[in-house]
């Protein structure tokens, strides 16, 4: 217990020292780098995952391929991929994005696809019967009904990306992982635990944002189903 | 990568077969024991959540919050208590598996048809015997689906543990970067994927063996 308080005190001291808030090694700059990597990868992954997930879910074609690709992609060790891409292509942002996108696509793709496929066929038939075109069925019926699952996929992807972007510091890129990697190599425990605390806080903020987003955009009629996920 | 270096030096792999096998073993231990521990924790906890519904939301929230803590950060927090040891990698990985396994145990138990439950009760099964002999076997496909996800992600996360010196095949990833030598990185990455996929296939097989009644009906797992 004493030790826990001690750790909290260490983190507090680190967070409140003014050196932490200025310059290239300051928290604002590292946080900005971290958010840039994570945000861009998530954006690309969302475009890819949503497009394919909606297409396959709506048409019902290629379901097996989607499941196989997503399963394979989940087995890729992101740490290995980040380091590999940096070794092969040199140090820059683009290689890291490739690895993070590969990490984030599977949960988005699978959940979008499962969400659309799981839409009640009666609802779909009713929409068609009302004269909706394929696009209208997709946008007005399937997407809203699949939204809880789609958001769950996005949340899982976002959290994994924010968590894994720390690994990018190892081969020499910026982001919040720098504190952990530098702290480890300098044997500076305060730096390690301080950096970890910032990363944990960021992950919790992301989690909270998605909870709020779900409240805001999911139709009230779907709430009981949404509560299950 | 220096010029003229081939993408993969096959001779290197040949020279390191013994060492690679050793690290593969370590990797499997670090990746799969947490799934086993996770299962040992999740089954009773999931049964409890199924029986007393009010336990479920707080348990699930706690597991989700743990899951959202980045692995690297969680390893670091445990370093203080468990040192630079394998436990420091396995405890966080165990905690991660809970966020997948608990919901799947609960959903699996919820998938047991009510008439089945009533029939077992009418046949004089005690509630413990009913859970063990009837409900859990029926829940197996849903539980195994969760175990598959947990095992595959656990195996690929182990490599991150190399940052505290305990990463199984992750050893070759950091080594390759230090030497600017892609062969070990590629070898390790491919081996990790293979381990994940083979484990996944074995789990599917296990499920088929555990649920003989589902065979022929086209089990949907």
What are the chain A neighbours of B157 within 8 Å (beta carbons)? Answer: 77
B48-66 pLDDT, tens digit each: 999 898 999 999 888 888 8
Identify the pLDDT of residue B200: 92
Overall average pLDDT of the B101-119 stretch: 91
- Indicate yes or no: CB of A203 within 8 angstroms of CB of B70: yes
Residue-wise burial string across A131-160, b where 16 or more C-beta atoms lie within 10 A, e elsewhere? ebeeeebbeebbbbbbbbbbbbbbbbbbbb
CA-nearest of B62, B69, B12, B23 to B41 is B62
Cβ distance B156 to A75 less than 8 Å, yes or no, reads yes
A24/A111 Cα distance (integer angstroms): 38
Q: Which of residues 95-154 of A touch B (CB under 8 A)?
A: none
pLDDT > 80? residue B217? no
C-alpha–C-alpha distance, residues B185 and B170, integer Å: 8
Please tell me the distance from the alpha carbon of residue B48 to that of residue B140, in angstroms, as a whole number.
17
For residues B174-198, one letter each, b for 16 or more C-beta atoms within 10 angstroms of the residue's C-beta and e for the rest, the string is: bebbeeebbbbbbbbbebbbebbbe
B73 → closest Cβ in A7, A72, A180: A180
Rounded CA gap, B171 and A65, in Å? Answer: 33
**Cα–Cα nearest to B94, from B165, B140, B48, B158:** B158
**Residue B163 to residue A84, Cβ atoms within 8 A:** no
Q: How far is CA B151 from CA A106, A114, B33, B144, B185, in A?
A: 16, 21, 9, 10, 22
Question: Is B73 close to A170, i.e. CB distance below 8 A?
Answer: no
Interface touch A162/B71, C-beta < 8 Å:
no
Is the Cβ pair B193, A181 closer than 8 Å?
no
Model pLDDT for residues A10-40, shown as the tens digit of each residue = 888 888 777 777 777 788 889 998 999 899 9
Instruction: Using a CB–CB cutoff of 8 Å, tell me whether B201 touches chain A.
Output: no
Rounded Cα–Cα distance for residues B147 and B159 (Å)? 19
Residue A87 touches partner B, C-beta closer than 8 Å = yes
pLDDT tens-place string over residues B21-44: 999 999 999 999 999 999 999 999
Contact A80 B152 (CB under 8 A): no
Token pair belonging to B107 = 């959903």
* Cβ–Cβ below 8 Å for B159 and A204: no
pLDDT on residue A10: 81
Confidence of residue B219 (pLDDT cuts 50, 70, 90): very low
Given a contact cutoff of 8 angstroms between Cβ atoms, the answer to whether A191 and A14 are in contact is yes
* pLDDT band at residue A229 using 50, 70 and 90 as cut-offs: very low
Residues on chain B touching A207 (C-beta within 8 angstroms): 64-65, 68
Chain A neighbors of B182, CB-CB under 8 A: 84, 87-88
Q: Global pTM?
A: 0.84
Residue B94's Cβ-count burial label (10 Å; 0-12, 13-18, 19+) is buried
Residue of A6, A11, A76, A77 to mutate for B, most B C-beta atoms under 10 A: A77
Sign for the CA dihedral angle at B155, A65, B105, A50 comes to positive
Please give the ipTM for the structure prediction. Answer: 0.81
pLDDT band with cut points at 50, 70 and 90 for residue A227? very low
C-alpha A112/C-alpha B34 separation (Å) is: 29
Tens digit of each residue's pLDDT (9 = 90 or more) over A158-170: 988 988 888 888 8
B134 DSSP assignment:
I
């Amino acid at each position: 217990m004493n030790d826990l308080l001690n750790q909290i005190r260490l983190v507090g001291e680190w967070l409140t020292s003014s050196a932490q808030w200025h310059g290239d090694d300051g928290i604002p700059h590292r946080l900005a780098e971290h958010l840039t990597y994570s945000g861009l990868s998530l954006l690309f992954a969302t475009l890819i995952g949503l497009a394919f997930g909606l297409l396959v879910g709506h048409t019902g074609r290629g379901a097996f391929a989607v499941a196989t690709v997503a399963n394979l992609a989940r087995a890729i060790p992101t740490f290995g991929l980040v380091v590999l891409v940096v070794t092969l292509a040199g140090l820059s942002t683009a290689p890291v994005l490739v690895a993070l996108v590969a990490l984030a696509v599977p949960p988005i793709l699978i959940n979008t696809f499962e969400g659309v496929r799981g839409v009640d066929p009666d609802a779909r038939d009713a929409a068609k019967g009302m004269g909706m075109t394929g696009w209208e069925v997709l946008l007005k019926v399937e997407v809203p009904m699949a939204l809880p699952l789609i958001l769950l996929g996005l949340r899982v992807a976002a959290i994994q990306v924010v968590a894994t972007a720390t690994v990018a510091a190892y081969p020499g890129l910026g982001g919040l992982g720098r504190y952990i990697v530098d702290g480890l190599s300098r044997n500076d425990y305060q730096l390690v635990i301080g950096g970890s605390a910032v990363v944990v806080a960021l992950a919790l903020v992301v989690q909270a944002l998605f909870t709020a987003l779900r409240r805001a955009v999911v139709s009230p009629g779907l709430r009981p189903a949404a509560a299950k996920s | 990568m220096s010029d003229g270096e081939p993408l993969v030096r096959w001779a290197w792999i040949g020279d390191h077969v013994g060492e690679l096998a050793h690290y593969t073993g370590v990797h499997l231990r670090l990746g799969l024991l947490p799934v086993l521990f996770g299962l040992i924790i999740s089954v009773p906890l999931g049964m409890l959540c199924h029986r007393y519904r009010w336990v479920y939301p707080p348990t699930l929230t706690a597991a989700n919050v743990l899951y959202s803590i980045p692995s690297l950060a969680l390893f670091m927090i445990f370093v203080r208590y468990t040192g630079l040891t394998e436990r420091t990698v396995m405890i966080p990985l165990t905690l991660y598996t809970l966020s997948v396994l608990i919901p799947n145990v609960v959903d699996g138990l919820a998938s047991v048809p009510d008439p089945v439950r009533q029939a077992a009760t009418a046949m004089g099964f005690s509630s413990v015997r009913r859970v063990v002999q009837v409900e859990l076997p029926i829940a197996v496909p849903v539980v195994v689906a969760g175990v598959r996800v947990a095992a595959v992600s656990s195996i690929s996360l182990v490599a991150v543990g190399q940052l505290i010196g305990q990463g199984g095949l992750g050893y070759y990833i950091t080594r390759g970067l230090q030497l600017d030598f892609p062969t070990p990185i590629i070898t390790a990455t491919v081996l990790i994927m293979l381990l994940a996929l083979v484990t996944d296939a074995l789990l599917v097989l296990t499920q088929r063996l555990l649920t003989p009644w589902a065979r022929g009906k086209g089990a949907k797992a």
